Copies of this chain bind each other. A is one copy, B any other.
Amino acid sequence: MQLDRRSFIGLAGAFGLGAAVGVPSTLAATSGFAAMAGGSSVPFYGKYQAGITTPMQDRLYFAAFNVETEDTAQLKRVLKEWTLAAERMSRGTDAGPIGAASGMPEAPPDDTGEALDLPAARVTMTIGFGPSIFDSRFGFASRKPAGFEKLPTFARDELESEQQNADLMIQVCADDDQVAFHAIRNLIRIAKGTISPVWLQSGFSGAAKASASRHTPRNLFGFKDGTANLNVDDFTETQMHLWVDRGWMTNGTYMAVRNFRFDIETWDRSSLVEQEQVFGRTKGAGAPLSGGSEFSQPDFKAKNARGELAIAEDSHMALAHPSKHGGAKILRRAFNYSNGTDRVARIDAGLLFISYQKDLEKQFVPIQRALANNDQMNEYVTVIGSSTYACPPGLAPGEFWGHQLFA
């Protein structure tokens, strides 16, 4: 069956190989090439990890894990196995060399099989390490990046224990849900007994269909999300705001994760004008309330017909805007989620906010603090999870996830 999956790979597979033999990694590791190659596979190896500047896929599985062993050698073995499996799956092949439907009949297959016949679907697997991995268990303390700690508690946080920071995380993204599930399921399987999932959240974006029609995807409040995002195609911007440039984290980045549960029912009963004032943008076009179209610069001094500020100072956009934070930008890569209904039959849905930035203290924390203190949107959301992970640089063939920690 391996051939079935391989047959989808085509051009992108060649680029994956290209990255290994010296194609400039800024090209090979980022998104343009994969997109050109018909959305099939995104190279695993490269200067940067895939899944960060890769154009948003349709589906997410986010898994937070704790390490169960205190045996550093065992942890290393599993990280190596994970890396080989992730690289294989990124090419649309089985997680192991034997495959889902081959090998000794008396042995469990080394792939679970539900992605046989499916293309790679731009699947990416991105790893990050939480502050706790640098404690005394594995001898990683000296590798802890300066100042890398759990996120501070923000105003109104109502954190639920299972969504707290864990030892590490894997972000799986793909344009097909079954492919994404297959990837995280096989990684969980491989690590069984050594690294265990603490929580697992799926998400969706509508991104593939929205970008096909050249639209910015929308969150579950119905507003465009990502209009003024960091431009991953701008080298200066990514160097300034995204990629770390010192120590072993060079070409890595820091991830912030905030789980926002939306009060869908209350939002849906609020008026259009209230909704637009909360965001500071129009709902349809996504234009700033000061006028223009989606990509117009907001004018924070403009007045509306009633003589009030068109964009309220406590609107989401005004509080988060780079101009209010010394030009600080972050790369947002958030996914919508829905988890059925809660115990009182309300829709349990919201936003798994994910952002990447070079410096949490200088970029993410001040923006999030301003929002947590004053954002009009707080009336409609509850933050139930908050965590951060150090996402190392990309790998060259032969290297393994987290190898920098063992140095």
Contacts and interface: CB of A to CB of B under 8 A. Distances in A.
A244 interface: no
A194 interface: no
A316 interface: no
A382 interface: no
A112 interface: yes
B273 A106 contact: yes
A221 B264 CA distance: 35
Contact of A113 (B101, B222, B269, B336): B222
A216 to B, nearest CB: 8
Given A114-B218, A116-B222, A209-B118, A349 B181 contact: yes
Q: Which 5 A-B pairs have the closest CB atoms?
A: A113-B222, A101-B284, A178-B206, A105-B273, A117-B215
| Copies per assembly | 2
Interface string A167-192: 00000000011110100010011001
Contacts of A349: 181, 185
11 contacts: A1-B285, A114-B220, A117-B210, A117-B213, A176-B209, A181-B204, A185-B347, A189-B268, A192-B265, A197-B345, A339-B339
A343 to B, nearest CB: 9
* Size class of the contact patch on chain A: 35 or more
A272 B100 CA distance: 8
Contact of A341 (B178, B199, B223, B284): B199
B284 A100 contact: yes
A159 B318 CA distance: 50
Contacts of A265: 189, 192
B270 A100 contact: no
Interface string A16-48: 000000000000000000000000000000000
A310 interface: no
A8 interface: yes
A306 to B, nearest CB: 12
Contacts of A132: none
A191 B366 CA distance: 41
Given A58-B176, A104-B272, A200-B341, 13 more contacts: A101-B222, A101-B283, A102-B272, A102-B284, A105-B276, A108-B272, A113-B218, A118-B206, A118-B213, A177-B206, A178-B205, A181-B220, A197-B341
A223 to B, nearest CB: 7
A107 interface: yes
A338 interface: yes
Contacts of A116: 218, 222, 284
Contacts of A273: 105-106
A326 interface: no
A103 interface: yes
A219 interface: yes
Nearest to A111: B222
